[in-house]
Homo-oligomer: A and B are copies of this chain.
Amino acid sequence: MSTHCEIETLLIVEDDALHREFLRKTLQESDLQIGQILEASDGEQGTRLSQDYRPDAAILDLQVPKKTGVDIAKTIWNRRAHTPIMFWSNYSDEAYVRGITRVAPPKANYGYLLKTTAKDRLERAIIGIFRDGQNIIDREISGIKQRSENKFSALSDKEYEILVDIALGLTDGGIAARRGISVRSVQARLQNLYAKLGICEVPKLKDGVGAYNRRNRAVAVALMSRQLNGKTLEMAEKELHHHLNLEDDT
């Protein structure tokens, strides 16, 4: 029952019962040889099962109650960095993919698929990730980049970092304190970001006043292109409180 299985234990964390059942059936109908399939409907249960049973592979819904799929992945990868993990989600936001790449170990084996993926494509992707060790990112997400004419796909980690800083509402001084650079350097980095996002030139109103302010406009553009969302901001906010010595006056 076990010595001939490609995957001895596979963990599914998915709160939607229909989707959970669909995944189990898809796995059972595939030609992957799996010993046992564990199922969890929320993040805490998922984390507990992953600690108790040490799965050889996992399929994690990004958004589950009580703990995110990324958190669970971190737990799994902390134990065994090579564990293949497939994330699946309703969300094609690049923001979420960045969330994963930030915690993924070097050379991690993972995939990111949308729940809208057709069953046969899903099956092939699962085999690609778990048997062939491929990293597969759903084409829909890549499609977002292309739609944006490569303007946004070229945001470096440092550029994305300062985007998040302004999205949290930090002043130039606040960012400078956080990053240990000068205020003028903050501004230099922002100029770079604005150029990347194509918002250096701002339309003028009839009386010559600019219609947009670049700081807010950069965040708006990133939100609309799904590089930022409320969830990633929450996570950034948590990190912020570790890094910044604020006189607590809120």
A interface residue numbers (CB < 8 A to B): 15-16, 18-19, 22, 63, 90, 93, 115-116, 166-171, 173-174, 177, 198-199, 201-207, 209-221, 223-226, 228-230, 233-234, 237, 244-250
Contacts and interface: CB of A to CB of B under 8 A. Distances in A.
Nearest to A240: B211
Nearest to A244: B211
Given A168-B220, A169-B220, 10 more contacts: A169-B216, A170-B212, A171-B210, A173-B207, A177-B205, A201-B250, A203-B247, A206-B245, A206-B247, A219-B219
A205 B173 contact: yes
Nearest to A200: B250
Contact of A174 (B63, B173, B212): B212
A164 B43 CA distance: 33
Interface of A is mostly: loop
22 contacts: A18-B18, A166-B216, A169-B218, A169-B220, A169-B221, A170-B211, A171-B211, A171-B213, A173-B209, A173-B211, A174-B210, A174-B211, A177-B211, A201-B250, A202-B250, A203-B249, A204-B246, A204-B247, A205-B247, A211-B244, A216-B219, A220-B237
